[in-house]
Structure 1
Amino acid sequence: MNMAVVPAKNEQGRIGKVLNLLSETAVDRIVVVLNGSRDGTLKEIRTQKLSKVDVLRFREPLGYDIPRAVGVFYALKQGAECVIFVDGDMTGNLLPAVNRLVDAVVSEKVDLAMTECQSDMISDNKLARELYLFRKLFNEHLGIYQRVGVAIPSHGPCAVSRRLMISADIRDFAVPPVILAFAVKHHLCVEAPVAMHSRELGSKMRGFSHAKKIAETIIGDIIEALAFFEGKPRKRIFLQKEYQGYNPRRRFDLLERFIALYGRNPDRSPST
């Protein structure tokens, strides 16, 4: 079974389009990890009346990327062989990309299939240049730059195999670059069969402050992943600067609670 994990928080007006698109892809089931929503996202999901959609509802915000880890744990319990991550605000035409990523995992036995997303503003945007540089240096250090460019699982849809999900620590799916480092370190198959511009994702525009926080989060994740890859204590400091971004808001405690509760009783209603 192929499953899509869709993190969603306050995506009313967008989530319906995302789910309808995914329902036309090679995905068999869709799990929406609805966390801390205060708008009509849940109502919009129910209005779609799509039989292949499950909702894991958390009343509190889980924080950046924690929904991925929740979705992976749920997917494993459901017997999924492939999981693809698509954010609940990505309203672009992702059908070809989703199908290609799933096919890479299912047919070509790729363990981590990523999208190489290129920013349109690298030459004009200092923040975009800094993030691009860290992505490039990260993949060069892992020895995969010539094959996947600057692709990392933090940016754009990506798909993972059951082998990777079982092998890695579930918690590390909440820090996506660590999953990439894990896959390379353990000689799993990593590819980037899809390339697209960031604007094609159709993601919500959220302003400079959010973009800065996201960039700092991903850079901090990359620094942490490099430490993991080298077998050193995980940290988020580079040249005496600490990159935290949204990292402190990641609710690993809620993830642990979900794992404990759902792990004991996977037949319970998927609503928390």
Structure 2
Amino acid sequence: MITVVIPAKNEAGRITTVLQNVATLPIDHIILIINGTTDTTLQEVLNLPIDKLQIIYFHECLGIDVPRAIGAKMAYSLGSDVVLFVDGDMVGTFNENLVELIEGIQLKHLDMALTNCYPSPPRHIERYNPTFQWRYNVTHELGLDKKLGLATPAHGPHAVSRRLLESIPLQELSIPPVSLALARLSKLRIDVATTIPHYRLGSSVKNYIHSNKIIDTIVGDCLEAIAVFHGKPRTRQWQNKTYSGYHTARRFDLLENFLGTTKQT
């Protein structure tokens, strides 16, 4: 059984395209996590005639990445063998790549199938973005740098196996680099299954303030992942700076309550 998990917050005008694209895939369920939206996202999707679609609505904002863990729990409870994650703002046309991610789990027996979003070196301006160095730092520490390069579950669509969901705590999917580190510690199979250059994702363009907070979030997540991999206390600090970003807005309390009230099947 194959389930697609799509988090969406304020994606009116985009979410219909994402859902219509995904609905044409050979899948069984689409779980849409509407995450503290303040626009007409919910009204828009309620009018879509997609039989596979299940909607989980949270009035309060769960924070970045937390909806993935919510969706993974629901997918697991449905009996899914493959869980595919696609962000609700990715309006690009890349269904053939999503099929490759699914096949990475089904046919290549991967437990985490990732997307390479940078088949060419990042542009000159992007090289000043510290997330690229820290993504590489993570894969290097995990001994996967030659295999994964800059690929990470924090960027681009990716898929995981049921075995992965049974091997690591589901709440750790809320910090994607940590889920990667735990998968490695569990000796699960991780590899790049497809390539989608970043520009083809069709993700919405964010403002400067948002971009800086995302950078701090990802760097902090990578620092946590490295600490977890080496069995050390978690930290988001590097050279006298704490990289919080959006991390402090992650509602782990709501996630814990949800996971605690939905029994593992």
Distance 1:206 1:135 in 2: 21
Structure 2 equivalent of residue 58 of structure 1: 58
Distance 1:112 1:145 in 2: 15
Answer whether contact 2:94 2:196 (CA < 8 A) is retained. no
Structure 2 equivalent of residue 237 of structure 1: 237
- Secondary structure of the structure 1 residue equivalent to 2:196: strand
After TM superposition, give the deviation of residue 240 of structure 1 in Å.
Answer: 1.8
Structure 2 equivalent of residue 21 of structure 1: 21
After TM superposition, give the deviation of residue 149 of structure 1 in Å.
Answer: 1.1
Structure 2 equivalent of residue 71 of structure 1: 71
- Aligned 1:96-135 pairs, distance under 5 A: 96-118=96-118, 122-125=123-126, 127-128=128-129, 130-135=130-135
- Aligned 1:202-217 pairs, distance under 5 A: 202-217=202-217
- The CA RMSD over aligned residues, in Å, is 1.5
Greater than 4 Å deviation, 4+ residue runs? none
1:197 maps to 2:197: yes
Distance 2:52 2:179 in 1: 27
Unaligned 5+ segments in structure 2 are none
Answer whether contact 2:167 2:186 (CA < 8 A) is retained. no
Distance 2:56 2:94 in 1: 23
Unaligned 5+ segments in structure 1 are 267-272
Structure 2 equivalent of residue 84 of structure 1: 84
Aligned letter for 1:123? H
Distance 1:102 1:121 in 2: 27
Structure 2 equivalent of residue 149 of structure 1: 149
TM-score norm. by structure 1 comes to: 0.93
Q: Sequence identity of aligned pairs in percent? A: 38
After TM superposition, give the deviation of residue 131 of structure 1 in Å.
Answer: 1.1
Alignment deviations for residues 171-215 of structure 1 (CA, whole Å, 9 cap, x no partner): 100000011111111211000121222111100111111111111
After TM superposition, give the deviation of residue 120 of structure 1 in Å.
Answer: 7.8
Answer whether contact 2:10 2:39 (CA < 8 A) is retained. yes
Structure 2 equivalent of residue 161 of structure 1: 161
Distance 1:124 1:15 in 2: 30
